[in-house]
Copies of this chain bind each other. A is one copy, B any other.
Amino acid sequence: MPRLEPERLRDALREHFATLDVDRASVEHVVASMVETSLRGVDSHGVQLAPHYSRAVRAGRVNARPGITTVRREASTAVLDADHAFGHHAGSTAIALAEELADASGLGAVSVVRSTHFGAAAYFALQSSRRGYLAFAFTNADALVAPFHARAPFFGTNPICMTAPMDGEEPLCLDMATSRVSWNKVKLRREQGVPLEPGWAMDELGQPTIAPHAARVLAPSGEYKGFGLGMMVEVLCGLLAGGPAATEILPMFSAPLERRREISHFFAALRIGAFTDPACFRARLQGLADAVRRMAADSPEHEVMVPGDPEKRHFAERSRVGIPMPEDRLQELITMAPAVARAVLP
């Protein structure tokens, strides 16, 4: 599989989005998020989305030059109107504001209304934990997950992301869909022609299926628990922001690209020093993570890891050898932005 050198890829993508007259902050965040996310191994939310985003800008779904405004603000909370900005830009603005509120009051929470797809939730929370905060990022999404015991989709994959600074490495990072598996795993099995695991998905009639092309609905993670968490993410996002929720949200790929989706997000940042000594916190968290990693595994093929460990390994490897890109996706990127060809490693 071809591999792409991250720096040259970043330059090519920046150049492409700048030619679409996208403002500087939006370009910086959408490109930084896509490349970092691909380096972390989360291909579904990385540079493979660039052609979709490019079309979404040209069709008008994403506002290339948004005026993000603060609608409400109190000592520890705010609501931002994203004006249909790239979610990557809106979210980065929101988490920075949450930190500003946390600096002054201990904790800050920012709700975002009228945004678009924000990529990987981890992009925002990691920024914040690198700056020393405990951070949270949530978003709603179009209906794809069935409530427990139901057969039709109602809430989106509504992810939960929480990060915390560690002592000698990148932050601890949990970024999980509230469905049993992400939609991307289903798409990957389609491409590979491999059946799904039982319990992952249902077909359009709501019948359980292991046929990847028949899958239309995802099962929640951990039965009623994942469903309940997904519903609570919608409470924090669409309901608090006053934006569309659940089945009201337009689907990302099948809705016309000129239609605006009005995605809602919720971010929070907590200043650790408002609670305890930050250095002690980081040292204890590092100790806990290392103790978990040293535990005996249930089989020789497994290792015991903490949240974010698989992504840290991908990051280290892909930073060295480049980002793998399936041939058809690579051609799509090059058609969109010819300079991507210069990033292909020999």
* Interface SS majority for chain A: mixed
Among B111, B149, B152, B174, the residue within 8 A (CB) of A228 is B174
* Minimum Cβ distance to chain B for residue A215 (Å): 16
The 7 nearest A-B residue pairs measured at CB: A77-B106, A222-B222, A75-B105, A76-B76, A74-B106, A221-B222, A228-B307
**How many residues of chain A get a CB closer than 8 Å to chain B's CBs?**
75
A338 CB, min distance to chain B CBs, angstroms: 40
Say yes or no for A297: interface residue by CB 8 A criterion. Answer: yes
For A345, list chain B residues within 8 Å (CB): none
Residue from A108, A270, A280 having most chain B Cβ neighbours under 10 A: A270
Distance to closest chain B CB from A268 (angstroms): 8
B151, A79: Cβ atoms under 8 Å?
A: no
List 14 additional A-B contacts (Cβ < 8 Å) besides A151-B298, A154-B291, A222-B222.
A74-B105, A76-B101, A77-B275, A148-B304, A149-B298, A150-B298, A151-B295, A164-B235, A174-B229, A221-B225, A239-B281, A239-B284, A241-B276, A242-B277
Please, which residue of chain B has its CB at the minimum distance from the CB of A272?
B240
A275–B147 contact, CB under 8 A? no
A222-246, CB < 8 A from B: 222, 224-229, 231-232, 234-236, 239-242, 245-246
A288 cross-chain contacts in B, Cβ below 8 A? 231, 234, 239, 245-246
Contacts of A104 in B (CB 8 A): 75
Could you give, for residues 283-307 of chain A, a 1 whenever the CB lies within 8 Å of some chain B CB and a 0 otherwise? 0110010011001111100111111
**A185 contacts across to B, CB distance below 8 A:** none
Looking at the complex, which one of B77, B164, B228, B272 makes contact with A176 (CB distance below 8 Å)? B228
A31 contacts B by Cβ under 8 Å: no
Q: Is the CB of B77 within 8 A of A105?
A: yes
Contact indicator B275/A72 (Cβ below 8 Å): yes
Task: Give chain B nearest CB distance to A138 CB in angstroms.
Answer: 12
Q: Name A259-276 residues within 8 Å CB distance of B.
A: 270-272, 274-276
List A residues at the B interface (Cβ < 8 Å): 72, 74-77, 79, 101, 104-109, 111, 134, 147-152, 154, 160, 162, 164, 172, 174, 176, 180, 206, 221-222, 224-229, 231-232, 234-236, 239-242, 245-247, 270-272, 274-277, 280-281, 284-285, 288, 291-292, 295-299, 302-307
Known: A295-B154, A307-B228. A77 touches B107 (CB 8 A): yes
A12 to chain B, nearest CB (A): 34
Residues of B close to A239: CB separation below 8 A: 164, 276, 281, 284-285, 288
Smallest CB gap from A220: residue in B: B222
Which residue of the partner chain B has the closest CB to A309?
A: B224
Q: Determine the chain B residues whose CB is within 8 A of the CB of A299 once the complex forms.
A: 149
A-B contact pairs, 15 of them (CB 8 A): A77-B270, A79-B276, A107-B108, A134-B240, A147-B292, A147-B295, A150-B292, A150-B296, A151-B296, A154-B291, A172-B235, A176-B229, A232-B307, A234-B288, A240-B272
